[in-house]
Amino acid sequence: MIRVDIETIIMAAGPVPSVIVLRERSADGTSDAPLRALSIQTGSFEAAAVGRGVDGNDGPRPITHDLMLDAIKELGAKLERIEINRVDAPIFYATVIVADKEGSEKHLDARPSDALALAVRANAPIYVEDDVMNRAGNISYRSDEDTEKELERFDEFARSVSPDDF
């Protein structure tokens, strides 16, 4: 299994699918091998549910993912992790792993979007099966260093802008 993080969520409207991009975590930081990414197409409502969990925006009422996590907690269980473990292009399959009071794991079949929405709310680790990453993944050319450079360029731009520019 490969530990991944949500790199980005691309929201779309209409018939165009939204995309959730998962990026492989660097194992030890010493390897020069490029990290891999996995793009999963999903509906706009599903992508919004994942985004809402990432942002930590609690609405006035719980949505289904919040309700399920509340139920898991009330039963004395814990969401341990999620695994994206199969692909039959273009469909991905996931499993939500919940540990009961005794530590016994229960495996629940789920859509990847639902599993990801639960994982971000519970701060649970996200894993992708090696075979899935090898078959459906690609090279992620974005790095943390690129992000830092991008933030520096934006900061420089923000300091150069005046109210008259608008």
Closest CA to 127 of 79, 66, 65, 59: 79
Return the pLDDT at 165.
63
Digitized pLDDT (tens) for each residue of the chain, 166 residues in all? 999 999 999 998 888 899 999 999 976 655 667 789 999 999 999 999 999 888 877 778 888 999 999 999 999 999 999 999 999 988 999 999 999 999 899 999 999 999 999 999 999 999 999 999 999 999 866 655 666 776 777 677 677 766 766 5
Return the pLDDT at 90.
87
Report how many domains make up the chain: 1
Return the pLDDT at 104.
94
Return the pLDDT at 53.
87
- Which pairing describes strands 138-140 and 35-42: parallel, antiparallel, or unpaired? antiparallel
For residue 76, what is the domain's CATH number? Answer: 3.10.690.10
- Locate 159 and state its tokens: 């300091």
Boundaries of domain holding 71: 2-165
